[in-house]
Amino acid sequence: MLVEYMIVSFLLFAIGAVGVMIRRNFLIMLMSLELMLNGAGMILIVMSYYLGNVSGQVMFIFVAAVAASETAVGLAIAIMMYKRKGSIDINDFSVLKK
Amino acid sequence: MLYTMKDLAAIMPELIVAVFAFAILLIDLWLPKKSKGLNGVLALLGVVIAFGVTASMYSKNISAFNGMVVMDKASNFVGIIMLLTAFASIILSFDFIKREELEAGEYYEVLLFSIVAMQALASTYNLITMFVAVETLSIGMYILTGFLKNKNESVEGAMKYYILGSFASSFLVLGIGLIYGLFGSADLNIVKAGLAHADSLHKWASILAFLFIFVGFGFKIAAFPFHSWTPDVYAAAPTPMSAFMSIAPKAAAFLALLRFLIVGMGPIEVEWTKILWVVAVFTMTFGNTVALFQKDLKRLLGYSSIAHAGYMLVGITAANYLGYGSVMFYLFGYLFMNLGAFAIAEFISTKEDRGTEIANLKGMGYRYPLMGAAMLLFMFCLAGVPPTVGFVGKYYLFSAAVKSHLYYLAVIGVVNSAISAYFYLNVIVTMYMKGEPEDAKPVFNSVPLKVVVMLGALGVMYIGIFPSTFLDIAIHSIGF
């Protein structure tokens, strides 16, 4: 049981990470970031169930709350990007030199 | 479960800053457009009061809220560093906000809330509190980076910072999840007890968890593979905020990392020193090498801050109390040198093109002799030339490495300091030896800025010449 749940969590995390790396649309990247956080948060819940210890679920509530406020700021940044360039493709934003 | 006055005393500095943040949020609604400057005064007042309280409670040692929050010398020492930085950045912001016509209310409010988060990060042994604090402070920093919302650079900087920052903090959650799964708690003292007699499977899994958590902290302190945001964000953010970001979150993250490594990961010290050895070497070398090719002062300071994070990692890699204390001392000295250098970057930027290119420093040494002399001092200090605090700090960091028989690491550190002298001296050469002064006159020539520069110069010299008191306090601040 535990192993399967862990595999699912890591898989979710990995899908999110790959999504952030290969997608160039800011909104999709936001979703991928959310997937990463939830994949990692799922480990907390799985472990909480496995250990019979409720504090992991409380921790996940903190993680979820933080993730929500983080996404709010991300959406604000998406709006700023759209207002500047009329696009949320991150390749359109490359004025800062390497 | 009752909370007592003792619990409240442990979070007194945080409470004061938070109260002022809420006050600004409310008062800003009623302030007429032309008296928005009052917000800045309020923020400054909050920071000063919190500083007074932190200093007066310096040697207290309180554990509160069932061990979720602690107040000890280390948290107060870092609190003092953060509040001094906040004080100077708020002073620098007064004219910046007027010049750029920014919304003063939101600016100070977000700044104060991220200070609360940093104070919380510095004063906890619980990983989940650390995560919430790291995220809260990062959210504030994302907003402040993108505060110049009419500038493409600022939007781009905020976007990059946001994506990379959230990416890194997901790894932090993953690591915390593993630690919780292995030891049944996110409290570092319980983790230590569990790790002390763990079998090899638990040990290897903890090393994996350590790597994931280090991604999160390494991002905040700008260690090597997670550094790439630093120059972009420093160049994009409002300059007072670049100054703030280069010191305060780093100080808090370094203390949290120290707590995590010394207390939580204490039993696997041999393994993490090996990993940090490699990270420290790459961080120093990368920061200094790339800084050689920079044309912009703020980007140069960004790469230099990566290199300085590398020097401080040397102190942690040494894994002895001299090393940990030297990290604290170096952070304290770094506060003065970096604030001064960023204040000068603000000084040279003109209203028209906001150029912080190093070329704009031409002839500055003659036109503004006092500012030029101060910049000379800051650059010498960053390069680690005696009698400044940069020399004393580096001396103790590297001698801690030698004390732990990490001779190669110390040698690499010294070689890196020598490389760094090239680009810091290049700034000085530009100021004094690159021909006649140009006509472009900085419009931003304000009294608060000069005060910050002079205080920075004074701090750099005074602590450099009489380091013993500060060194003593810094070395004894780490008591866990």
CB contact under 8 A, B143 and A73: yes
Is A83 part of any domain?
yes
Instruction: Identify the closest residue of chain A to B176 by CA–CA distance.
Output: A44
What is the tens place of the pLDDT at every residue in B181-191? 999 999 999 99
What is the tens place of the pLDDT at every residue in B214-226? 999 999 999 988 9
Note whether A3 contacts B: Cβ–Cβ < 8 A. no
Among B149, B157, B174, whose Cβ lies nearest the Cβ of A43?
B174
pLDDT at B353: 54
Residue B352: pLDDT band (50, 70, 90) is: very low
Is A95 part of any domain?
no
Q: Complex ipTM above 0.90? A: yes
Q: What is the DSSP string of B30-74?
A: HS-GGGTHHHHHHHHHHHHHHHHHHHHTTT--EEETTTTEEE-HH
Instruction: Identify the closest residue of chain A to B162 by CA–CA distance.
Output: A74
- Identify which of B435, B442, B294 has the alpha carbon closest to the alpha carbon of residue B366: B435
Is A68 part of any domain?
yes
Residue B444 has pLDDT above 70, yes or no: no
Rounded-to-integer distance, Cα B349 and Cα B242, Å: 14
Note whether B6 contacts A: Cβ–Cβ < 8 A. no
Q: What is the DSSP string of B281-334?
A: HHHHHHHHHHHTT--BHHHHHHHHHHHHHHHHHHHHHT-SHHHHHHHHHHHHHH
We report the CATH number of the domain holding residue A69 as 1.10.287.3510
Which residues of chain A have a CB within 8 Å of the CB of B152?
84-85, 93, 95
Residue B316: pLDDT band (50, 70, 90) is: very high
What is the tens place of the pLDDT at every residue in A16-53? 999 999 999 999 999 999 999 999 999 999 999 999 99
Is A96 part of any domain?
no
pLDDT at B96: 85
Residues B133-154 have a mean pLDDT of 92
Which residues of chain B have a CB within 8 Å of the CB of A59?
128, 176, 180, 186
Q: What is the DSSP string of B254-280?
A: HHHHHHIIIIISGGGHHHHHHHHHHHH
pLDDT at B98: 84
Instruction: Identify the closest residue of chain A to B158 by CA–CA distance.
Output: A77
Interface of A with B in 24-83 (CB under 8 A): 26, 29, 33, 36-37, 39-41, 43-44, 46-48, 50-51, 53, 55-56, 59, 62-63, 66, 69-70, 73-74, 76-77, 80-81, 83
| Mean pLDDT, all residues of chain A | 92
Min Cα–Cα distance to chain A from B389, Å: 31
> What is the count of structural domains for chain A?
1
Residues A74-96 have a mean pLDDT of 89
CB contact under 8 A, A63 and B235: no
Expressed as residue numbers, the domain containing A16 is 2-87
Rounded-to-integer distance, Cα A76 and Cα B149, Å: 11
Residue B355 has pLDDT above 80, yes or no: no
Min Cα–Cα distance to chain B from A89, Å: 11
Rounded-to-integer distance, Cα B86 and Cα B54, Å: 14
Residue B442 has pLDDT above 70, yes or no: no
- Identify which of B338, B332, B340, B378 has the alpha carbon closest to the alpha carbon of residue B472: B332
Among A36, A77, A95, whose Cβ lies nearest the Cβ of B152?
A95
More confident residue, B343 or B357: B343
Strands B62-64 and B69-71, bridge-based pairing: antiparallel
Expressed as residue numbers, the domain containing B226 is 5-477
Give the CA diameter of chain B: 71
Mutate to test the interface with B, among A96, A97, A98 (most CBs of B within 10 A): A96
> What is the percentage of chain B residues whose pLDDT exceeds 90?
70
What is the tens place of the pLDDT at every residue in B259-304? 999 999 988 989 999 999 999 999 999 999 999 999 889 999 999 9
CA distances from A34 to A25, A63, A66, B136, B216 (A): 14, 11, 11, 16, 16
| Mean pLDDT, all residues of chain B | 90
Two structure tokens written together for B349: 């930027």
Tally of helices (H runs) and strands (E runs) in chain A? 3, 0
What is the tens place of the pLDDT at every residue in B77-88? 999 999 999 999
> What is the count of structural domains for chain B?
1
Q: Which residues of B312-350 are buried (b: 16+ CB within 10 A; e: fewer)?
A: bbbbbbbbeebbbbbbbbbbbbbbbbbbbbbbbbbbbbe
Note whether A8 contacts B: Cβ–Cβ < 8 A. no
How many residue pairs from chains A and B have C-beta atoms closer than 8 A? 112
pLDDT at B443: 57
Min Cα–Cα distance to chain A from B284, Å: 18
Note whether B264 contacts A: Cβ–Cβ < 8 A. no
Note whether B201 contacts A: Cβ–Cβ < 8 A. no
Note whether B156 contacts A: Cβ–Cβ < 8 A. yes
Residues B443-466 have a mean pLDDT of 86
CB of B400 within 8 A of CB of B321? Answer: no
Is A71 part of any domain?
yes
pLDDT at A92: 85
Q: What's the first-to-final CA gap in chain A, in angstroms?
A: 47
CB contact under 8 A, A70 and B139: yes
Two structure tokens written together for B10: 């442990």
Residues B366-379 have a mean pLDDT of 88
Note whether B159 contacts A: Cβ–Cβ < 8 A. yes
Among B162, B177, B232, whose Cβ lies nearest the Cβ of A73?
B162
Which residues of chain B have a CB within 8 Å of the CB of A14?
none
pLDDT at B439: 61
For residue B69, what are the β-bridge partners? B64
CB of B126 within 8 A of CB of B58? Answer: no
Rounded-to-integer distance, Cα B130 and Cα B68, Å: 10
pLDDT at B255: 95
CB contact under 8 A, A37 and B173: yes
Note whether A91 contacts B: Cβ–Cβ < 8 A. no
Mutate to test the interface with B, among A77, A80, A83, A89 (most CBs of B within 10 A): A77
Instruction: Identify the closest residue of chain A to B154 by CA–CA distance.
Output: A96
CB contact under 8 A, A81 and B236: no
Residues A77-84 have a mean pLDDT of 92
CB contact under 8 A, A81 and B155: yes
Mutate to test the interface with A, among B173, B182, B187 (most CBs of A within 10 A): B173
Instruction: Identify the closest residue of chain B to A51 by CA–CA distance.
Output: B184
